[in-house]
Amino acid sequence: MRFMVFVRSPIPLAALHGEALVRAGVLLDAGDLVPDACGVSGYWLIDVRDAAEAVERVKRIHLPACVVEIRQVAVV
């Protein structure tokens, strides 16, 4: 199953520790979004077994002062 992880952060997403997702072999894509008044946003597209695994993998990443949203992606 694929999940989009949106992260809103006071620092650029590239500075966050997404390497764990790369090492685990679940990261399909990542990128920064245009900064807005609330800070910097970015995303990770991951491929995992289920929602529980998606949550567990994101919990392992140190994301200080970040707002995180995990949404399942419909694969057509």
Q: What is the CATH number of the domain that holds 12?
A: 3.30.70
Backbone angles phi, psi at 59, to 5 degrees: -60, -30
In this prediction, residue 37 carries a pLDDT of 67
Total domains in the chain come to 1
Read off the pTM.
Answer: 0.83
Mean pLDDT score, 32-47: 81
Q: Residue 27 contacts by C-beta under 8 Å, 6 or more apart in sequence?
A: 18, 21, 44, 45, 46
32 vs 34: CA distance, rounded Å: 7
In this prediction, residue 63 carries a pLDDT of 81
Residue 13 has pLDDT above 70, yes or no: no
Mean pLDDT score, 1-28: 82
Residue 27 structural domain: 2-73
* % of residues, the chain, pLDDT over 70: 87
